[in-house]
Structure 1
Amino acid sequence: MKVRDVMTQQVDWVAPTASIAEIARLMKNKDVGSIPICEDKKVIGMITDRDIVLKVIADGLNWESKTAKDIMNSQVITVTADQDVHEAAHLMSEYQIRRLPVVEQGKLVGIVALGDLAIEKIHINEAGDALSDISQGARH
C-alpha cells in the first residue's frame, strides 16, 4: 500500500513569517499538533505544539515577537505519495516523528501521521513498533 492511500490531502501550512499566535490558533482550530512551514508550497520546516511550548513558553521568550522561522525545525523528513507505507513507518521510527509531510515534485501534497497507519489497520505491528520507539526515545 502506498502513502497516498492513507495520507491526509488537505493540509494547512503557513509561511515562515507567520506569528506563533497565528500558528497556535491554526493548530487549535484544525485540531492538529504540527504545521508545515512552506514557501510556495515547498516545505522548509515544521513546527509542533511541543516546539511552541519548549522553544518559546518554557524559555520565557516573548511569543508575540517570534515567528515560524525562529522556532521551526528545518531538518524535515518527507516522503512521496508513491512510497510504501512500510517506508513511512520505518522513517517515523528511525527519526522519532509522528508526522511526515508528503511531497511531489518538491511541493506539499499531504501529510501522513502515525495514527493514519494504525487507524487504517495497515501494518499495525509496524505502527505500534514505531510508536513504541518514538515514545521511548530509542534511536536506531
Structure 2
Amino acid sequence: MTDAKTITIGDIMTKSVISVDSALTINETAKMMEDGKVGAVIVMENNVPVGIVTDRDFSVKVAAHAYQITEPVKQIMSSPLFSVNSDEPVRIAADLMHERKIRKLPVIDDGKVVGIITATDIVSLLAVSVEEDMRDMYFHSVAKIYSNYSPYN
C-alpha cells in the first residue's frame, strides 16, 4: 500500500456525485438522494457549485423551520460551499472538516465538481493502512473530525 501520508483526496473520494439546480424543490431533491442512495447533493446555479444539501439538512432545517417541501432546495442548502482539490493530501480535507464542523466536502478541480469526500472515506482509509500510518492519521485527522461530535467535549 502507498504511504498514507502521500494519499490524495482524489485517491479516496467518491467520484459519482449528484448535483441539482438551486430551483429544484426540496421534495424533488430528497427523491433524487433516495434514488441515488447518497447522503448529499451539490447545489448548482448556472453550472457553478454554490451549496450542498445533506441528509441532515432535511432532518434539521426542514423540520426546525417548517419549510414546505415545494420550496426551492436553495432554502436549505449550506452555503458558502467549502471544497477541496483532488490533488491535495487527505489531511487538508480532515483539517477543513474539523475547522468548519462538517463531514462532507465536494472536490472541485478547475471549477468542476469531480467528487465528494466524507469523514467516512477518511475512516475507511484507516482500515487499509499500516499501523504507523493509522496512528498518525487517527491523531491528525479522524480524532479532529469526530471531536465535534463527542459527548465528552
Superposition TM-score tier, normalisation by shorter sequence: 0.7 to 0.9
> Match of 1:78, SS?
coil
1: CA distance, partners of 2:19 / 2:44: 6
Could you tell me which of 65, 70, 75 is aligned with 1:70?
A: 75
Match of 1:53, as an amino acid?
S
Gapped regions of structure 2 (runs ≥ 5): 1-6, 130-136
Could you tell me which of 130, 134, 137 is aligned with 2:144?
A: 130
Structure 1 residue 59 corresponds to structure 2 residue 73: no
C-alpha contact (below 8 Å) 1:41/1:108 kept by paired residues: no
Question: Which structure's CA Rg is the greater one?
Answer: 2
2: CA distance, partners of 1:61 / 1:7: 32
Could you tell me which of 18, 31, 53 is aligned with 1:47?
A: 53
Most deviating of 100-109 and 29-38: 29-38
> Match of 2:16, SS?
coil
> Match of 1:120, SS?
helix
C-alpha contact (below 8 Å) 2:94/2:145 kept by paired residues: no
TM superposition score normalised by structure 1: 0.86
C-alpha contact (below 8 Å) 1:3/1:88 kept by paired residues: yes
Structure 1 residue 82 corresponds to structure 2 residue 87: yes
What pairs up with 1:1-140 in 2 under 5 angstroms? Answer: 1-64=7-70, 66-121=71-126, 123-136=137-150
Cα distance, 1:2 vs structure 2: 0.8
- How many residues are paired up? 137
Match of 1:87, as an amino acid?
I
1: CA distance, partners of 2:58 / 2:36: 16
C-alpha contact (below 8 Å) 1:114/1:127 kept by paired residues: no
Aligned identity (percent) is 32
TM superposition score normalised by structure 2: 0.80
Deviations 1:82-139 (A, max 9, x none): 11101111111111111110001111111011111111226244443134223149xx
Call closer, same or farther: CA 1:97–1:38 in 2, change over 3 Å.
same
